[in-house]
Amino acid sequence: MSLYNFKKIAVVPTAKDFIDIMLSKTQRKTPTVVHKHYKITRIRSFYMRKVQFAQHNFHDRLTQILTEFPKLDEVHPFYADLMNVLYDKDHYKLALGQLNTARHLIDNVARDYVRLLKFGDSLYRCKQLKRAALGRMATIMRRQASNLTYLEQVRQHLARLPSIDPYTRTIIICGFPNVGKSSFINKITRAEVEVQPYAFTTKSLYVGHTDYKYLRWQVIDTPGILDHALEERNVIEMQAVTALAHLRACVLYFMDLSEQCGHTLEEQCNLFESIKPLFSNKPIIIVVNKTDIVKLEELSEEKRAVVKHIEDDPEFQILPMSTVTNEGVMEVKMEACEKLLSFRVDKKMRTKKVDSILNRLHVAMPKPRDSKARPPCIPETVQIKRLEQAAKRKRKLERDIEIEEGDDYVLNLKKHYTDIPENEREDIIPEIWEGHNIVDYIDADIFEKLEELEKEEELREATGMYVVPKIELDETMQEIQKLALQIRHKKAILKDEARINKQSKKPVVPRTSRAKAKDRSVSKLRKNMENLGVDMSETENANFTRTQSKGRSIGPVAKRARMDTGKSENMPVIRASTMSKPPRNEQGVKDLVMKKKLSKIAHRAISKKVAKMGLKGEADRFIGNKMPKHLFSGKRGVGKTDRR
């Protein structure tokens, strides 16, 4: 882009963000402490500084916005017209003009209130004048909310525009929608333009670059143009018209002979006639696309008559092409580049600069004096030297050999190993590892030995050496296996139940399960255990009971379970006492020495918190400084700094 890099335009904030940024900056970058016992001159200067600083911030930011956005009178006519098509020139100028007016108003407000602050006779009045000044500045910016929003949208769209250089070598592709323009630019450049079988797939200008004769060429793909009046064309079509009108380029007008684009050949010719004025002083090539379907010679007489007047015109050149089979694609590109190159050279030759350069050059053309032939005379010494040089001709380079042999050439550097005998030059270079040649340690018969080993392995597999014997289990082992499987299954169920009970703090047992719980008994338990294979003969005399205190619910089973493990004459009654956890500071402590050591470490940690952080104890929550450091850095005003 020759004049502007639109991607470098800074983000335009909304009115609310704009005001917040400016006032926050004023608060951070100016002194914040003032007292009523200060001299009145010091109080005045304190508040005047705030007003002036805020005014400078507003002024600088608005100036940045106004300078970064392009001025339509200064940019290239192509960009001026393109921005008029996309954003409406009047609306754009009005938004920038109102921002400029707001900048002047803020400057006037600051000047007036600074003048009033010079006559402030108290801290209160100076403060009120400062508040009024900043409030009026904020009000002015709040009224620019719609303009700032509009300019931010323009900035985002400008950043997405392709970088088109209006002065470089350019090829413009135009025509009806869906005639193959985007397919062509994808073939000759690296631009990846979307190609679809419906109209107006390309909705904006796309730029690709290609090389020809060591020069960079700019190829522009325009949206499709429809054949109707200029006033009726939409924004998408007007972008193509703008590019055609203002860019000095070679124009490729695409036509679809197969009429698969949805427009007849007559409509395409009419469109060409209607936009022909835009092609004035530009080289034009008419590209007949989709020749893989219908060729120009295969057209009927009626359709050929429609194209006849364009064929007969010597000003226009018709080239056939097919983007599907790539037939004629490179010919169209080369012809367009050649035409534009010769056109630009002719234009430059007509300027005054060429005359000034040609005036400096003088080519002498000697005229014959008589009819005598005067061939060039070469001295004998020079001829002898030339013959000697031809005899001492330079050795043939590798590049010369490559050109001579062509595709059969193979680079062989070993032929230059003159110190090695010729019969040994093609030998494989030995691989050396830690000073030893690896080949010396390779067994020459290794492949034969490997084959013998493989045969032995096959014999072993055939005889069934590696087959795992099947172990047949007797009845007792099968019963043990079944029992083990049942036990594992029961263990998994118990684990799941324990996990669920742990997760739910207050499990609520439904009524159905409570009813089922009443059916439990010692006989059922004994029966289930005997089914599992456990001998329960010793427990026949034992009575299993559960004691429960009346009027008071027993808490969690792990804490308050009490069991009577039998009231028989032989067995004593054993009561499990309430299970309680040890204190937290004694958990995991092995001995008394370790306990004392841990208490010392805890005391030291708590005292550190109390001393440094000002906490009441280890349970006190630390609340940091609520005033951020950045709000109070660089605020030193008049006077000493030892108080801070």
- CATH number, domain of 137, equals 1.20.120.1190
Q: Say if residue 188 is in the same domain as residue 136.
A: no
Question: Taking a C-beta distance cutoff of 8 angstroms, is the pair 268, 189 a contact?
Answer: no
3-class secondary structure per residue, 397-448? CHHHHHHHHHHHCCCCHHHHCCCCCHHHCCCCCCCEECCEEHHHHCCCCHHH
Q: Say if residue 78 is in the same domain as residue 127.
A: yes
Q: Say if residue 113 is in the same domain as residue 173.
A: no
Q: Say if residue 11 is in the same domain as residue 140.
A: yes
444 located within any domain? no
The encoded tokens of residue 130 equal: 């400062």
Query: Rounded to 5 degrees, what angle do the CA atoms 58, 63, 68 make?
Result: 135
* Final residue belonging to a domain, choices 321, 351, 381: 351
Q: Say if residue 175 is in the same domain as residue 126.
A: no
> What per-residue confidence (pLDDT) applies to 573?
44
Q: For the segment 587-620, what is each residue's pLDDT rounded down to a tens digit?
A: 777 787 888 888 888 888 877 777 766 666 666 6
Give the C-alpha separation, 131 to 113, whole Å: 10
Cα dist from 428 to 247, 425, 431, whole Å: 64, 9, 9
pLDDT of 476 > 80? The answer is yes
Question: Taking a C-beta distance cutoff of 8 angstroms, is the pair 1, 167 a contact?
Answer: no
Q: Summarize the confidence of residues 201-228 as an average pLDDT.
A: 72
The encoded tokens of residue 481 equal: 């296996």
374 located within any domain? no
Q: Say if residue 179 is in the same domain as residue 223.
A: yes
Give the C-alpha separation, 102 to 147, whole Å: 11
Residue 571: which pLDDT band, with cuts at 50, 70 and 90? very low
Q: Summarize the confidence of residues 101-116 as an average pLDDT.
A: 94
48 located within any domain? yes
> What per-residue confidence (pLDDT) applies to 569?
45
The encoded tokens of residue 641 equal: 């700094």
The encoded tokens of residue 273 equal: 């006639």
Instruction: Report the amino acid identity of residue 22.
Output: M
Q: Look at the alpha carbons of 230, 236, 240, 242 in this order and tell me if their dihedral is positive or negative.
A: positive
pLDDT of 520 > 90? The answer is no
* Final residue belonging to a domain, choices 334, 351, 368: 351
Instruction: Report the amino acid identity of residue 146.
Output: S
Q: For the segment 393-446, what is each residue's pLDDT rounded down to a tens digit?
A: 667 788 888 888 888 888 888 888 888 888 888 887 778 888 888 878 888 788
Query: Rounded to 5 degrees, what angle do the CA atoms 558, 560, 565 make?
Result: 90
CATH number at residue 176: 3.40.50.300
Residue 472: which pLDDT band, with cuts at 50, 70 and 90? confident
Other Cβ atoms closer than 10 A to 468: 5
Question: Taking a C-beta distance cutoff of 8 angstroms, is the pair 333, 188 a contact?
Answer: yes
22 located within any domain? yes
Q: Say if residue 153 is in the same domain as residue 169.
A: no
75 located within any domain? yes
576 located within any domain? no
- In the chain, what percentage of residues exceed pLDDT 70? 79
> What per-residue confidence (pLDDT) applies to 108?
94
pLDDT of 103 > 80? The answer is yes
Give the C-alpha separation, 100 to 254, whole Å: 46
136 located within any domain? yes
Q: Which residues pair with 253 in a beta bridge?
A: 174, 286
Q: Say if residue 144 is in the same domain as residue 194.
A: no
Q: Which residues pair with 320 in a beta bridge?
A: 288
How many domains would you assign to the chain? 2
Q: Residue length, the chain?
A: 644
Mean pLDDT of the chain: 78
The encoded tokens of residue 113 equal: 């209130």
Q: Say if residue 213 is in the same domain as residue 148.
A: no
- Going by the DSSP 8-state scheme, the letter that residue 317 receives in this structure is E
* Final residue belonging to a domain, choices 115, 140, 157: 157
Domain of 315, in residue numbers? 164-351
pLDDT of 28 > 70? The answer is yes
Q: Say if residue 208 is in the same domain as residue 144.
A: no
Q: Say if residue 178 is in the same domain as residue 208.
A: yes
Q: Say if residue 115 is in the same domain as residue 211.
A: no
pLDDT of 62 > 60? The answer is yes
Question: Taking a C-beta distance cutoff of 8 angstroms, is the pair 241, 227 a contact?
Answer: no
369 located within any domain? no
